[in-house]
Amino acid sequence: MRTSTMQNDALARFGHALSDATRTQILLRLREAPGYPADLAEAIGVSRQILSNHLACLRGCGLVVAVPEGRRNRYELADQRIGRALDDLLGLVLAVDPACCPDAAEGCC
């Protein structure tokens, strides 16, 4: 079975989003509930500017959307299936032997 270019691009964008720990934390938090940038920055422990840059990347990847609320924007997953996909990935990753890549934080995998 052939995979279309559009499908390849979508998976590459998702992989790019997950390749950064801050973006991953944002997605995991938004999987639980929509959030505001200031609250997300505080919860994750990054500056608002850093968070803003990562949100722009996630918007560009089509994974999150900004919902205007007066003078603020609330962020949420672009599609609830993204949350389910993250759940599935977590289940898969947790099923893998952690000894296979003990230095994952250092980029061994």
Per-residue 3-state assignment (H helix, E strand, C coil) for 73-88:
EEEEECCHHHHHHHHH
Domain that holds residue 67: 9-96
Inform me whether the pLDDT recorded for 19 exceeds 60.
yes
Classify residue 59: in a domain, yes or no: yes
Average pLDDT over the chain reads 88
CATH of the domain at 45: 1.10.10.10
- Cα–Cα distance measured from residue 6 to residue 47, given in angstroms and rounded to the nearest whole number: 34
Domain count, the chain: 1
Classify residue 21: in a domain, yes or no: yes
Classify residue 39: in a domain, yes or no: yes
Classify residue 55: in a domain, yes or no: yes
CB atoms within 10 A of CB 30: 24
Rama region for 79: left / alpha / beta (φ>0; ψ in -120 to 50; rest): beta
Q: Can you read off the two tokens belonging to residue 80?
A: 């609830």
Inform me whether the pLDDT recorded for 78 exceeds 80.
yes
Classify residue 2: in a domain, yes or no: no
Strand-strand pairing, 64-69 and 72-77: antiparallel
Q: Among 5-9, 71-75, 103-107, name the one with the lowest average pLDDT.
A: 103-107
Inform me whether the pLDDT recorded for 101 exceeds 50.
yes
